[in-house]
């Protein structure tokens, strides 16, 4: 496994790693068991030369590589940078495709061969290990690529890397390049063949694996697949494909797979490149299940919906995420986790409330569920229940609210009232509908969860003569939460009026 997170990964627009950050990532790559670490492009800047040198000195159990154009000044910069490395390697490249030859290098085939050979022979005086990359190999004529590879072997390259520089290849085509090189190039058995893919068409991992099937010894890539444009092959994907489908690939890596998650997090943190939730292997959702049928399967037997166990890559466990697609099995499991033991009827009632909330809210958190359950854990009879609520608010007009209240689960009362503010208008409407004269002693509001769709929790305290009662309401909308809290307090007040001295008895629904 050849990791180029610090070189091609750093070529991602907006990414700039300083020396300390490069060393930190390199040390983690070493822990991950990466064989070869490409630390940078020393000729690019004095800073990069210094970073490559710091990585070269810090790493003891992996080859450290510097990239270089086929030019003496680049090679000399890499020599300088790789001083002190336990196992240094120079990575030379020169483009070979017709497009790059004609427009970028302005070289004929012969000049390409001569320039590359001269560079390899010059570098060979200083490096035992040289990797040569015919850049844009994917779009290079296959017979010319064979010629270039043969020249590189003769000149002293120890690895020939085949880059699909612009992510143009399909797996069949890319595999065929490796098969052809293995069949046709004299001396190919003396060197290692490597694959370096880009993800422009989303085929970087598939192409790398096709290379493995056709004789590649080394895969180049980055952690989280970061890199130029759409990125490089994600090494964690290749590693897990080889591990999970060893029946197909029959190839092994030396990676300590348990370090994958940690490495991914570190690279994401230091590069500032967030890992998409649905990213294979390391995305936040890679081991998360939201739909009821999948969650039920997972609870019965994990292999129904997981081909990799999260522990393999160093994660604690899979996640069953509650949302609008979840079913009763997962909901019950979550309640048990949270310490609630509900009977069948109570569970069904709570599940209905949960579905109602999930329809309105993206993520239903543990706090949301607790809030939902605890709203309903008193056994006060519901004389009044909030049915509908509509508020008109304008900063230059008097707020008004139209509220619908159901009485004892049956008759629907509806009325409109104005107030000093939206909440006051709602409370005036409820007072008018219920005919209750109460004093609002206290009102408080807080957010139960986070984000724009967080649940708001309202507490109110009402007094009527000597009797007082508190109520609580929860909703994604604070006005609705306010109305619910008021109605809840009214119901408790009515109950207390009937049985003075009675305390609320707590039991689940
Ligand atoms: C596919 C890849 O990822 S390759 C690696 C890409 N990474 C980078 O380019 C990052 C580091 N690069 C840099 O910092 C700069 O480009 C430098 C320092 C290397 C060179 O900078 P400059 O001298 O200003 O040249 P510039 O980048 O504008 O142009 C590249 C020159 O290198 C030539 N060149 C490109 N590849 C090679 C090569 N492999 N070998 C020799 N010459 C090359 C180009 O033809 C061009 O030459 P020209 O000036 O004669 O036209
Ligand atoms: C330098 C080479 C290997 C490269 O990064 C590419 O061709 O994509």
Instruction: Please give the C-alpha separations between residue 21 and each of 49, 331, 355, in angstroms, as whole numbers.
Output: 14, 43, 45
Alpha helices in 64-170 (DSSP H): 72-81, 98-99, 109-124, 142-155
Is 8 annotated for ligand binding? yes
Once rounded to an integer, what is the mean pLDDT over residues 172-188? 98
Confidence bin at 315 (pLDDT 50/70/90): very high
Q: Ligand 1 pocket check: which of 17, 38, 41 to mutate, most ligand atoms within 8 Å of Cβ?
A: 41
The ligand whose atoms approach the alpha carbon of 220 most closely is 2
For ligand 2, whether the C-beta of 163 sits within 6 Å is yes
Query: What's the pLDDT tens digit per position in 362-373?
Result: 678 887 888 788
Q: Which one has a higher pLDDT value, 202 or 378?
A: 202
Confidence bin at 375 (pLDDT 50/70/90): low
* Under 8 Å between Cβ of 36 and 47: no
Domain 2-271: state its class: alpha beta
Q: Which atom of ligand 2 is nearest to the CA of 136?
A: 7
Q: With 90 as the cut, is the pLDDT of residue 448 above it?
A: no
Lowest pLDDT segment from 130-139, 311-320, 398-407, 453-462? 453-462
Query: What's the pLDDT tens digit per position in 12-58?
Result: 999 999 999 999 999 999 999 999 999 999 999 999 999 999 999 99
pLDDT averaged over every residue in the chain: 93
Q: Residue 379: what pLDDT?
A: 54
* Under 8 Å between Cβ of 89 and 129: yes
Distance 72 CA to ligand 1 centre (A): 13
Q: For residues 392 and 395, what is the distance between their CA atoms, to the nearest angstrom?
A: 10
CATH entry, 384-498, from 3.30.160.270, 3.10.580.10, 1.10.3720.10, 3.40.220.10: 3.30.160.270
Query: What's the pLDDT tens digit per position in 126-142?
Result: 999 999 999 999 999 99
Distance 90 CA to ligand 2 centre (A): 13
For ligand 2, whether the C-beta of 233 sits within 6 Å is no
Is 53 annotated for ligand binding? no
Lowest pLDDT segment from 94-103, 268-277, 408-417, 468-477? 468-477
Q: Where are the domains of the chain?
A: 2-271, 288-375, 384-498
């Amino acid at each position: 496994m050849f990791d180029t997170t610090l070189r091609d990964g750093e070529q991602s627009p907006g990414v700039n790693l300083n020396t300390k950050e490069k060393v930190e990532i390199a040390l983690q790559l070493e822990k991950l068991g990466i064989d070869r670490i490409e630390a940078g492009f020393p000729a690019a800047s004095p800073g990069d030369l210094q970073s490559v040198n710091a990585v070269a000195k810090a790493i003891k159990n992996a080859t450290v590589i510097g990239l270089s154009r086929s030019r003496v000044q680049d090679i000399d910069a890499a020599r300088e940078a790789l001083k002190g490395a336990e196992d240094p390697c120079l990575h030379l490249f020169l483009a070979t495709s017709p497009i790059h030859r004609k427009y970028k290098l302005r070289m004929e085939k012969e000049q390409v061969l001569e320039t590359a050979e001269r560079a390899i022979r010059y570098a060979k005086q200083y490096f035992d290990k040289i990797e040569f990359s015919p850049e844009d190999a994917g779009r290079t004529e296959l017979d010319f690529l064979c010629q270039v590879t043969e020249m590189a072997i003769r000149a002293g390259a120890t690895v020939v890397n085949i880059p699909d520089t612009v992510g143009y290849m399909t797996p069949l085509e890319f595999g065929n390049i490796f098969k052809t090189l293995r069949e046709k190039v004299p001396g190919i058995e003396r060197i290692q063949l490597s694959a370096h893919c880009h993800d422009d068409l989303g085929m970087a991992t598939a192409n790398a694996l096709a290379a493995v099937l056709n004789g590649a010894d080394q895969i180049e890539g980055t952690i989280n697949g970061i890199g130029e444009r759409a990125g490089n092959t994600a090494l964690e994907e290749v590693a897990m494909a080889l591990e999970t489908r060893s029946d197909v690939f029959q190839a092994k890596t030396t990676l300590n797979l348990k370090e994958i998650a940690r490495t991914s997090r570190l690279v994401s943190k230091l590069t500032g490149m967030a890992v998409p939730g649905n990213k294979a292997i390391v995305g936040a959702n890679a081991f998360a299940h939201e739909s009821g049928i999948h969650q039920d399967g997972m609870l019965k037997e994990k292999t129904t919906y997981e081909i990799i166990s999260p522990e393999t890559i160093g994660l604690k466990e899979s996640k069953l995420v509650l949302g609008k697609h979840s079913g009763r099995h997962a909901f019950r499991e979550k309640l048990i986790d949270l310490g609630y033991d509900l009977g069948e009827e109570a569970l069904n009632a709570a599940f209905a409330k949960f579905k109602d909330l999930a329809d309105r809210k993206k993520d239903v958190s543990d706090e949301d569920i607790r809030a939902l359950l605890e709203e309903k854990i008193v056994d006060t009879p519901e004389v009044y229940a909030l049915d509908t609520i509509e508020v008109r608010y304008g900063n230059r007009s008097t707020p008004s609210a139209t509220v619908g209240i159901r009485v004892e689960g049956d008759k629907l009362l509806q009325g409109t009232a104005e107030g000093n503010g939206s909440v006051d208008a709602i409370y005036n409407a409820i007072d008018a509908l219920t005919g209750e004269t109460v004093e609002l002693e206290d009102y408080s509001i807080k957010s139960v969860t986070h984000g724009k769709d967080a649940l708001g929790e309202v507490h109110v305290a009402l007094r009527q003569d000597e009797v007082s009662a508190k109520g609580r309401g929860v909703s994604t909308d604070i006005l609705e939460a306010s109305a619910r809290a008021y109605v809840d307090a009214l119901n408790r007040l009515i109950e207390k009026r009937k049985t003075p001295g009675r305390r609320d008895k707590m039991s689940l629904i």
